Structure 1
């Protein structure tokens, strides 16, 4: 009973910290994307929106790979001193938290911000075409842009889930190598051993 309560408390504490991190990151990314998009042409704005969508799909793939991974291959790699294998083990051991950050924090923030960013691009494009007054042209541009962003997000995440499930070991060892590189070169430790 005490162990269950302890795990519940840890889960609540983690959930609250993730909520705070999400709030802060969403605010920062929203301000940055709005500031960037307000000063660029609509064509570059579309590229920025697509980049945000890709970022969400990429992190969703990492989260799926973490939840589908097993430790055994990474222990074998660690025994052979493969760079990043120890970090890969940490990713797998913390798969719930890693996936929550990748899928929920970064993935969902990307979804929200790509929607906001695409709305700004629609306004810019409507202004260029001389239809910024809520006309049928602006509505049509909005529907097309929203549909494209939604299709790329959902389709991209479907492909990402396939890759995350079928290429788990490859993806997680690359994540481990990235984490090991950040730790060795910049002393940035994103995952702790405990």
Structure 2
């Protein structure tokens, strides 16, 4: 039974989120990360940014109350795929965040950094330098965009958001807790 008075957090992402939830379950760890909240996990291997808005449109029809916080960890599987240049992906991500903000107006949005990889999908060069550069630029652009929307991390540390620096990567449980 869930406590309706607890803040609700959605964590949406690809295989990393799916694996984290599976790891927590396999070791009998707290699915709410020790926070005083109710976390709903929506991780799926291979999920790309392009699937985010359709997922939220379907969820919007199924729920009555908006989550308090939404953590989005997506984008890595979309870098380097056909039709996704750095500029087109950045524009799509910003447009989708705007739409999600309209779909869930009471929800605080958080973007978890796209993580570095040894090999990228669609990588044709011997090194992934260009794709790594795209990753870094997308992370910076999303931080600035969410800060301008007053939706993302508001604290900046040496040019990096608190969300990006708490654990070195992604969003930490302590940062989510600060926002609850």
How does the TM-score come out when normalised to structure 1? 0.32
Structure holding more strand per residue? 2
Structure holding more helix per residue? 1
- Say which one has the larger Rg: 1
